[in-house]
Structure 1
Amino acid sequence: FVLPHTRGSSHGQTRIIRKAYEQDFYTQMMDECYKLWSQLEREAGVTLYRHYNSGFSVGAAGMYLRMDGEQNQTVIWKTFYDQGSLWNLVSVQLGRITKPFQIALGKISLGVFDGVSALDDVTFRNCSMPPAVKECPAHTHFHCAESKACVEQMQRCDLTDDCGDASDEQGCSPELQCSFEHGLCSWKQEQSGGDVFDWTLIQGPTPTLNTGPWKDHTLGTSAGHYLYIESSGPQEFKDSAVLLSRAFRPTVHRGGRKHCVFRFHYHMFGSHVFCLGVFMRTASSGRGHMLWVRYGDQGNLWHRKTLYLTSARPFQIVIEGTVGDDFNGDIAIDDLSFLDCEPHHGDLPDANTTTPSVTTPPPTVRPHVCPDGQFACGSLRECVPDSNVCDFSLDCSDGSDELYCVRERCDFEGGDTCGWQSNDSSLVSTHAFRWSPVQGESIHDGEQSHRPINDHTTGGPEGWYMCADSSNGGYGQTSDLQTPVMTSNGPQCTLVFWYHMSGFTVGSLQVLLKYGNSTHEVWSQSGNQGNKWRRGEMFIGIANNFQ
């Protein structure tokens, strides 16, 4: 037998289980062995471990979760047949378990005496509750009522007891949460023909081996419920299932904007997992625009994702699971929750809805007209020279001379581009290489470090910035972001901005001044500049009628 894992020598200790014997006294000995095993685990305070499963007829081994008061045990890990003459590292996700529990290891041997299963270096990681403290940072954390621990505000009302006393889950609106323990809650299956099949509500493991979760995320046992898409027949490659949230009120108001957050857990395990996407739509049909997507096998784990939502119109969230090219492609979701989002009591408009024409009553006062060379302000009988329009100064009393101009300062928060325009926005498709306001990390798996996770303004993933995503472009392709024409500016005019250029194949960023049909470069940067924001500055000076 090979050397133990811990010391790598014959002096280390290893647990070994050999084949099951027919004699009664061997069976009786196993009870004593398990008692000793449990005693050692308690003393060690030990779900990370290494296993060894080798031999022609080694059979199978499995790890199980046993809960107080429940007869059925939950499978949390399994291995089958010969895994080679080496130690294999295994990580098992337990999650938040609110009841007393035990971990048990089971072994099934074949009838031939040729196989060994072994276990070594068992460790529990991140299993303790947060410590008690006197006070928490008021704006970013929640102070638990009884445990006195600090948890992040984003962990409130997310269907997980992070405090240990469940105080972070008290006072939450059931309209904004769904654990699927009592059905779909306010979520609905797509019924308008926008998908091929439906999400399935299930307990325990999915029917197909080596794909899908063995347990839900809410309870962490096979008794819990979750939704999944079945990738076996009759489903075919790229068939999709769509789940719809209830409608929500706009997050951008005249009085300002607020954060609305969507949290969910997803499980994508299997050699033929294809795609899970989350969209936001403001019409009653279609997908809307993509917020996030993942492709391929993400491991036998539940992953958490937080999305910050911003919309000037009523909206709903669309979750789409897409089938891969074989049966090992089940995808699951659980514990969907919204924070600081307000339900919209009404239906979203149809996608092809047009604004009805309104007959304007004849004005009681004749609209004012300004002489040539002057701009008519929104306020009655007020005119300013054309040269005062878009000059970074509010010359009209109502500020209308700067209404359709680029603003003096822009942080792009809420997706507001402040007058900056993509000059090809009407000519290219949604997924073409173009500038657009975005949040957080790249939606393209494997390219998370190419795009900033945090914006420069807020320093967090909820912040917005403009991004040209090269995943949608080809070599040498360009995309322009430009201002409207600015009539004039002062002698010390300077453009200051922050830029982020990360990735081995990143191209170049240029700043140009445009006078009519004439354009010349005044600043540029090329190549990978590292995964951080850098400051750019460019002196403009006196200029007239330029972009």
Structure 2
Amino acid sequence: MYIEASNKVQGSNAVLVAGPVTVGPTDLCLEFWYHMYGKDQGVLSAGLRTRGQANDVKWFKKGNQGSDWYRGQFDIPSNLGVVDILFTAMVGNNYQSDTAIDDIILKNGSCGIDYGYCDFQLDLCSWSNSKDADMDWVFGKGKTVSADTGPNNDHTLKNASGQYIYIETSRPSVSGDTARLMSELFPPRNSVCFHFFYNMYGAGVGALRVSLVSLNSSTDSLAPIGPPQVLWTLTGNQGQGWQEGRVPIPTQYFSHRVLVEGVKGTSYTGDIGLDDLSFTKGDNQPCVVSPASAQPQVTTTPGAPMSTPLPTVPATFNCAFESSYCGWTNDKTAAKQWARYRGATFSQSTGPKADHTSGNGFYIYLEASSGRLNDSARLLSPNIQPGDQCLTFWYHMYGTSVNALSVQLWDAPVVPGVQSDKKVTIWEMRGSHGDKWLQASVDLGGPSNRFARQVVIEAFRGSTYSGDIAVDDIKLTQGACANFGTSTIDCDFENADICGYMQENSDAIDWTWASGVTSSSNTGPTTDHTYRTPSGNYKPASLI
């Protein structure tokens, strides 16, 4: 796929959407190949869009990268729920800015690279200055404006043209003024190691602190759960030059941010520099506080794991619907109800002909003959306790008007006074998938699962009668699901259906399916990446 930049307005965007993808307790790695050749090259970015949230850019490239295919990749953190993956290409200032992508693959596990990395060469990346701070972290190049304090150059490029950020301690700032740099909002996740480089040179240097802020994601304002937890703190003059800092971030059971604070000391000779921030996981050596003198006093981690043993799966959870709904119940407040049934449903060309268990038993289904678009039936499970658990079930979605089936977790608080999200969608499937039963495996556990939960299976009616949705053989087992399963994201663009990827309606241009050379000279690829031949396909874009 590529964008054709000829006769396009500079800055026009083409957005390609893949998904939805359900992200459970295992980190994922998205890998793809990109081609950005041409002297007028614009910008290519890739990222995530969670339901109801703004786009989160995870990968970014700008300018001419040469006439070859290069690999791009980024981590998708665990426990995000249902997300879309977005590829956005922006046209440069002339026609020589064709951009292409190919061979997109979604893998289990981390990519094995740093994430959350920022070298401050262009901007603050995913970090931001806190609006309630006394002052901001500001960009610097070369030496700071005050003598006998601050860096002489950045850490990344190690020259006067590279950028870093720092606190400027000249007037009008006063002693104790604080600048706060906030990370992006992270979901609950396993432990990671925060790396950064700092420069604390000057007789008047105050303090540098790294803290963790746990947040209650069930409130619109993301209210903090207790005060920030200081993980790393260093005070006073540390000498000239950049030094490495490391901070272990323990497993988190709530949404959270990392906070880096620079505090002004006694005078203008107190500039503090910061550069090359990143988070890593799976290190071969343990992550320990560095330098050791930055170790703070021991504090209690908000949301520490409970020490009490976890109950087993309720006996009434597993259900084949042969004689009853077991421990499951219909939500009486929903517009429609799940029905137990045997044999074929009432309508032709939709629904199953038999159950999954034996071919002669019962299943449950949403009858689509009556009702309105998006009317839904909700099936509520018995409460389950926190821990790594795997939900498996079989579903049947066949018919021209099949809408959607989703699995949600509704929380039942076990920590007094602390509410988690009431309703989180962790799996979703849309549209017709043929006249057959298919199996789904959904992880329910991981660090985020600190609350007793109720599983909710919700089916949505489509626009006509031809939208019956059925479910059978629900089972819950302890431990994470064995594997991620077959990814619906993987795509080499060899077929015209482009793997079900969608063009965003709100952009100015579209990605285009193509092979061989693009229509403009000195820009774009000459072959695809998959087969390295002119007959192989990749993805470009043309004006809508």
Larger proportion of helix: 1
Larger proportion of strand: 2
Q: Which one has a bigger Cα radius of gyration?
A: 1
TM-score (norm 1): 0.30
TM-score (norm 2): 0.30
Higher RCO structure, 1 or 2 (CA under 8 Å, sep 6+): 2
